């Protein structure tokens, strides 16, 4: 299977998270979702981080096993850790074992959250959460 499955999965994750976080910010504002965080982006935000894919092709099927990290950032001045944990729950609810329709050429077999962690960055102001998802895609 080509790398197209990776791009299709990232697009669908972005769309799903943008919808799930549309009113999750302070005062009901949208929490932005980035794949490349702009310099000086205001807190809070979510970033689709690094990921990788391994082929699991067989003689009859083509597919990829993906690992994608979703990063959540918040600051102490807006309830840092509490907000990060709340956004992680929204991300989990939106993606874990979800049925996501990919574009033609690829199909999502399964997506599962395999790790959630939250920690304070060395600046003592920023909370950083990570949600790791494993996903299987197959050529459709």
3-state SS, one letter per residue, for 16-80: HHHHHCCCCCHHHCCCCEECCCCCCCCCCEEEEEEEEEEECCCCCCCEEEEEEEEEEEEEHHHCH
| 47 against 56, higher pLDDT | 47
pLDDT score, position 130: 98
Written as six digits, the tokens of 52 are 């990788």
Torsion of the alpha carbons at 16, 18, 24 and 29, rounded to the nearest 10: -160
Mean pLDDT along residues 101-119: 94
pLDDT at 1 over 70: no
Look at 17 and 6; give whichever has higher pLDDT.
Answer: 17
**How much is the pLDDT for 58?**
87
Q: Where along the chain do its domains lie?
A: 4-139
Given this model, what pLDDT does residue 27 score?
Answer: 78
The pLDDT assigned to 3 comes to 58
CATH of 4-139, one of 3.40.50.300, 3.30.2000.30, 3.90.1150.10, 3.70.10.10: 3.30.2000.30
pLDDT at 129 over 90: yes
pLDDT at 29: 87
Global pTM reads 0.92
| Higher-pLDDT residue of 70, 59 | 70
């Amino acid at each position: 299977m080509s790398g197209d499955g990776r791009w299709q999965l990232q697009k669908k994750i972005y769309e799903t998270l943008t919808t799930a976080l549309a009113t999750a910010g302070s005062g009901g504002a949208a929490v932005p979702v980035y794949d490349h965080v702009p310099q000086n982006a205001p807190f809070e935000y979510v970033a689709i981080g690094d990921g990788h894919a391994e082929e699991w092709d067989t003689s009859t099927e083509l597919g990829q096993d993906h690992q994608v990290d979703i990063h959540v950032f918040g600051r102490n001045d807006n309830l840092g850790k509490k907000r990060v944990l709340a956004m992680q729950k929204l991300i989990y609810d939106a993606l874990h074992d979800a049925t996501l329709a990919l574009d033609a050429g690829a199909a999502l077999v399964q997506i599962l959250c395999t790790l959630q962690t939250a920690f304070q960055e060395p600046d003592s102001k920023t909370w950083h959460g990570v949600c790791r998802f494993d996903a299987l895609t197959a050529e459709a």
